[in-house]
Amino acid sequence: MNPFHAIRRGLALLLVTLAGSAAAQALSPEEAQLVARVRQHTPAALQLLERSVLINSGTLNPAGVREVGDLFAREFDALGFKTRWVEMPVEMRRAGHLVAERTGERGQRVLLIGHLDTVFEKDSPVPPWQSDGRRVRGQGVSDMKGGDVIVLLALRALNDIGALQGRTVRVVFTGDEERVGSPVEVARAALIDAARQSDVALAFEGATKDDEGRDAATIGRRASGGWHLTVTARTGHSAGVFGRDGFGAVYEAARVVNAFREQLIEPDLTFNAATLVAGTSAAWDDAESKGQAFGKTNVIPRDAQVRGDLRYLTAEQGARVRERMQAIVEQSLPGTRSRITFRESYPPMAPTPGNLRVLDAYSRASADAGLGPIVAFPPGLRGAGDVQFVAPIVDSLDGLGAAGGGAHSPDEWLEIASIERGAIRAALLIYRLTR
């Protein structure tokens, strides 16, 4: 049995135990107050959500990311938080992060994680905001401005009833979650620093359901990174292709990605081949995420570049798959030569017993509020997130954000009612963790 299966079996047992203890209890009078305050402030929170979504904050639009950060910073200031903007070095071409803190001596120290950026850049044709009163479609509505607003709504209710007095709550909203700045040690220093001063981390990426339709939160996430395939080939008249002049860069690039698809697919592993530029000349600009190619149909192409991602559940799986990809790359077609480079952006978040305990507390808070229990989401099904940088340091739980779907696609949507629901659950959980 590989180590992950052992962890899974352990988890299954723990979850059965936890499920038995999840019977709902009545809220205390103060907790009932808290829920009432969340409901009272929900309309204002929805307005804040719309304002934030109407500001384009694609990761590569630092001015927009900063503007969303400033909008949220004013809200934190009004709740008695100290806010600051963490700048990134200019050459990283990232906006930086919003940090908000309240400190005290009592209860567990809680870290709340969100992000300000979205995958929708300024030239995105996706309409920023379309609401039918029940659902909103738009740029980053559920990934994750909805989650950010849930954080603010929960804290507002907590502040209303005086529950933040003497407590330590740190909030980090990063500005480059969708494309982490490089070097990553600099890009995530503020987040990791906040984690070192915290006991529990709660991340507000989109809420999910498991395959049985139960509300679920995330106790583990796959590592993620990227690969970049560069092909150079002999060029010449197209009449000579397959012969003396070799196969050209396009056939070689196609061979490699097709071999990945045919030979490497296994559970908990994905590798999306995302962009391909090829021709007599082909250039890729990472900063702009754009490529350019020149070529003619009667010329054997000299250059090809393919970029993709790589997601895996354990360090062992990552190392093994990278080795196999390397071996495939080295079997180049005649007249061509391929090279592949790898980059790891997110370490894996292991589904630890500590994370399960946070899930249990979250599930109880939800059940006690009449919103039903929350189960663990299968780690292999979730993309990467900022929580992975803090998970090695503190007990962590993700997926406390808004419910919706279609993240990163033109159809991204948010269930409006999930803002209030998420904020009630989060407010109760933070309340209990900080008592």
Binding site for Zn ion (CB under 5 A): 143-144, 205
3-class DSSP state for residue 343?
Answer: strand
Q: DSSP letter for 141, please.
A: I
Other C-beta atoms closer than 10 Å to the C-beta of 14 total 17
Query: In whole angstroms, what is the distance from residue 424 CA to residue 27 CA?
Result: 12
Our CB check for Zn ion shows the closer of 191 and 233 to be 191
Our CB check for Zn ion shows the closer of 96 and 248 to be 96
Tokens of 31: 């907790």
Output the smallest distance, CB 270 to Zn ion, in A: 17
Our CB check for Zn ion shows the closer of 333 and 407 to be 407
The label of the residue with tokens 């305050």 reads 37
Q: Which of 100, 101, 85 has the alpha carbon at shortest distance from 167?
A: 101
Output the smallest distance, CB 225 to Zn ion, in A: 17
Our CB check for Zn ion shows the closer of 207 and 278 to be 207
For the chain, the distance separating the N- and C-terminal CA atoms, rounded to the nearest angstrom, is 41
Our CB check for Zn ion shows the closer of 121 and 303 to be 121
Question: Which residues are registered as beta bridge partners of 209?
Answer: 215
Does the CA dihedral 215-170-72-62 come out positive or negative? Answer: negative
3-class DSSP state for residue 106?
Answer: strand
Output the smallest distance, CB 51 to Zn ion, in A: 19
Q: Which helix (H) or strand (E) holds 425?
A: helix 417-433
Output the smallest distance, CB 206 to Zn ion, in A: 7
Output the smallest distance, CB 119 to Zn ion, in A: 8
Our CB check for Zn ion shows the closer of 116 and 164 to be 116
Our CB check for Zn ion shows the closer of 143 and 148 to be 143
Residues 6 or more apart whose Cβ sits within 8 Å of residue 96: 62, 65, 66, 69, 85, 86, 87, 88, 175
3-class DSSP state for residue 389?
Answer: helix
Output the smallest distance, CB 178 to Zn ion, in A: 6
Which single residue brings its beta carbon nearest to Zn ion?
143
Our CB check for Zn ion shows the closer of 144 and 171 to be 144
The label of the residue with tokens 């909030």 reads 171
Output the smallest distance, CB 142 to Zn ion, in A: 9
Written as one letter, the residue type at 171 is V
Output the smallest distance, CB 252 to Zn ion, in A: 35
3-class DSSP state for residue 232?
Answer: strand
Our CB check for Zn ion shows the closer of 372 and 383 to be 383
Q: 16 and 104 in contact (C-beta within 8 Å)?
A: no
Output the smallest distance, CB 328 to Zn ion, in A: 31
Compute the half-sphere exposure of residue 148: CA atoms within 13 Å on the CB side of its CA: 32
CA distances from residue 152 to 37, 128, 296, 301 in whole angstroms, order as listed: 12, 21, 55, 53
